[in-house]
Amino acid sequence: MAKIIFFRLLLNCLICRPMILLTGATGFLGAHTCASLLQKGYAVRACRRENSSLGEFESIFKYRFGEEWKKFADKVDWIEADIHDYDKMADAMEGLEAVFHIAAVVSFWPKRREELYYTNVEGTANMINVALAKGVPWFIHASSIAAIGRDEKHPVITEENEWINSELNSQYAISKNLAEREVWRGREEGLKASMVNPGVILGEGDWNKGSCRLLKKVMTGMPYYTDGQNGYVDVLDVAEAMIRLYDKKIDGERVLLVGENLSPKAFISQAAEYFGQKPPYIRARPWMGEIAWRLVALLSFITGKEPLLTKETAKTGTHHFTYSSQKATDLLGIRFTPLSETLRRVKRFI
């Protein structure tokens, strides 16, 4: 494998393109970030696990590039390497300008708790260790607004909020916060690193995974809403922010990415209008959520499918969180995509 990496590195040097290693490229955010990097002329080396599906990656590339999608997809230098495999990641990090670490597990299902910590924390720790050992110049990490923490003492959440242990922090949030600490640990040891903290990411992707499942649910009709509020952001804005962090060589920064703060009713109503559905009209009281997540958990136990509603999401869904993305505007010049534009693209994608 080392010889293959050497010749790939030699070829890249001859054509003088900065090489970026991308983890999570077969997923929603990773595939979009890969497409955006290629559009900007970067060379991309992407990690994928053995037997991982390229279905979502290919569908996103077909949408982003149309008839030329194969030409762009063929530019990706694929490496079969798990983020936990030190030796393979060391080979993958030869001759890089930067690592964009996106690979993560997003789940609120208790059944996947061990996987959450194994991938999000231990996987990130290994990536940091390898990057330090290989002398990688830059490390850009995809975190989450969840990693900042949630508590009722702060009406507006910014990058400066300190983590407070709270029952409103999910296991996913804790795992992403611990992953951030690994990144900052790496920086203390000499690695130049920054990160983005996106809200609920929306855009074109696999309707059976992640936040795309929420839009799929709205498409089939969603009459209920809760009284909370959350932050949403377009997937293209997240990809652009990560690239700008690297382009501007910004070190040691955490950038929150939320295009719009919306109540569930406002979000579902906008999405329902685009998908030809009725807006939500039944207010779900907290006690209703307590019953609902238990029923859904029972159904999940029977079917073996991951539920959209869990005990954790039922609890946080009734709380009001407001996120400020002023830093993204000031530091990176990000102008966030309106939800209406995101939904218009999603409708065209389906």
pLDDT tens profile 193-251: 999 999 999 999 998 887 888 888 888 888 988 888 999 999 999 999 999 999 999 99
pTM of structure: 0.92
Give me the percent of the chain exceeding a pLDDT of 90: 72
Determine the pLDDT at residue 242.
99
In which band, very low, low, confident or very high, does the pLDDT at 315 lie, cut at 50, 70 and 90? confident
Place of tokens 């983020």: 83
What is the rounded average pLDDT of the residues 86-98? 96
Confidence of residue 293 (pLDDT cuts 50, 70, 90): confident
State the pLDDT confidence band at 101, using cuts at 50, 70 and 90: very high
Percent of the chain with pLDDT over 70: 95
- For residue 262, the 8-state DSSP code is E
The DSSP bridge pattern shows strands 260-262 and 230-234 to be: antiparallel
Q: What is the CATH number of domain 2-206+231-261+322-340?
A: 3.40.50.720
Cα separation, 143 vs 47, in Å, equals 18
Residue 288: predicted pLDDT: 83
Q: What is the pLDDT of residues 8-20, one digit of tens each?
A: 555 554 455 789 9
**Average pLDDT rounded to a whole number, residues 181-192:** 98
Per-residue pLDDT for 5 more than 70? no
Residue of 23, 45, 161, 33 lying closest to 105 (CA atoms): 23
pLDDT tens-digit series, residues 40-67:
999 999 999 988 999 999 999 999 999 9
On average, the pLDDT of the chain sits at: 92
Q: What distance, in Å, lies between the first and last C-alpha atoms of the chain?
A: 39
Q: Which two tokens stand for residue 307?
A: 């539920």
Distances from the Cα of 163 to the Cα of 11, 68, 243, 255, 320, angstroms:
45, 45, 26, 15, 17
Residues 157-161, mean pLDDT to the nearest whole number: 94
> How high is the pLDDT of residue 14?
43
Query: Domain limits of the chain?
Result: 2-206+231-261+322-340
CA 202/CA 147 separation, integer angstroms: 18
